[in-house]
């Protein structure tokens, strides 16, 4: 079987000291061809004689699949699969698999890295010390950079999937009050389920964990942000498109909220004209919440095992589950 890894650079980078991880598990499954990245106009050419492709964000449209009659398997190194036309895949008998919930802990931890960034301000205190400020201080503790406890603060969570649930459980360990807005009514100990306006209006920290759909696109808009406390911090690790970036930039500029932390943007990589580029009290990380080294190792192992299981006639992590598996390789 011939396997094309069309986007190696999206999951591994350089050698081990610079974020590189091994993709050798795929070598055990067949003849592997590797590409760091694959532009849209090269997908058909590079996958032309392949039985399986391993991708992340590459678009696999109906037109692409029609041009690849040998293709029988599309493996995603991701949880999301909106870049694959599942209807076309089902019609053509192409198996599509994903890697669900591999980054739940990693993303939840990133949320609290942001929360603690704003609450404890250790980066500012360390900078003060590094610049000689403590040497010049006339008191044993410098109190000019105030920090805050999380105990008793209110965390607002939009979305109650695996990541949202993990974020809520950590909040309770910190002694935080938790408000949660979710599409379907839920009950969970220590969590008050409510509407999104209440979440934005009554929370000290607000974090979004929902998919990007027509219903959630630019959901976080000027109206919602106007409900926030001036001391509130907004966090997004879900999809950039759920936020009206211009409205968020204006809210930060005018001091209507205290800060924002974002790991995702509407356009990635970030563009120079992004409204949030250089915005007041806004920290932006380059979509790395999912990407700790051990998290990516888990991702690659599961992606390789998905293909291995499919080759053995088993159904594992299939997102096109309405088709019947026929191993023709």
Q: Which residues are catalytic?
A: 239, 268, 287
Task: Specify whether the CB–CB gap between 89 and 74 falls below 8 A.
Answer: yes
Closest CA to 198 of 235, 224, 160: 224
Spatial separation of the C-alpha atoms in residues 115 and 11, rounded to whole Å: 26
Task: Specify whether the CB–CB gap between 21 and 41 falls below 8 A.
Answer: no
């Amino acid at each position: 079987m011939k396997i094309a890894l069309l986007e190696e650079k999206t999951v591994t980078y350089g050698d081990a000291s610079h974020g590189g991880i091994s993709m050798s598990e795929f070598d055990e499954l067949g003849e592997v061809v590797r590409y760091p990245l694959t532009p849209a106009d090269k997908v058909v050419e590079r996958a032309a004689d392949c039985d399986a492709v391993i991708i992340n964000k590459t678009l696999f449209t109906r037109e692409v699949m029609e041009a690849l009659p040998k293709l029988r398997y599309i493996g995603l190194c991701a949880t999301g699969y909106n870049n694959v036309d599942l209807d076309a895949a089902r019609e053509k008998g192409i198996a599509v698999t994903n890697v669900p919930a591999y980054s739940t802990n990693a993303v939840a931890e990133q949320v609290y890295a942001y929360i603690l960034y704003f609450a404890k301000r250790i980066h500012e205190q360390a900078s003060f010390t590094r610049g000689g400020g403590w040497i010049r201080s006339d008191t044993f503790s410098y109190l000019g950079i105030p920090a805050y406890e999380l105990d008793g603060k209110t965390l607002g969570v939009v979305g109650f999937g695996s990541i949202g649930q993990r974020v809520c459980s950590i909040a309770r360990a910190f002694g935080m009050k938790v408000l949660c807005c979710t599409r379907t009514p839920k009950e969970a100990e220590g969590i008050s389920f409510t509407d999104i306006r209440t979440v934005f209006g009554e929370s000290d920290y607000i974090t979004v964990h929902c998919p990007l759909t027509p219903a959630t696109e630019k959901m976080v808009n000027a109206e919602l942000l106007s409900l926030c406390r001036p001391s509130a911090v907004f966090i997004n690790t879900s999809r950039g498109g759920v936020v009206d970036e211009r409205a968020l930039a204006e809210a930060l500029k005018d001091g209507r909220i205290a800060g924002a932390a974002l790991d995702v943007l509407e356009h990635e990589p970030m563009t120079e004209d992004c409204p949030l580029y250089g915005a007041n009290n806004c920290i932006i990380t380059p979509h790395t919440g999912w990407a700790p080294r051990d998290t990516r190792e888990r991702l690659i192992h599961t992606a390789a095992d998905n293909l291995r299981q499919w080759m053995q006639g088993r159904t594992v992590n299939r997102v096109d589950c309405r088709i019947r598996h026929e191993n023709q390789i």
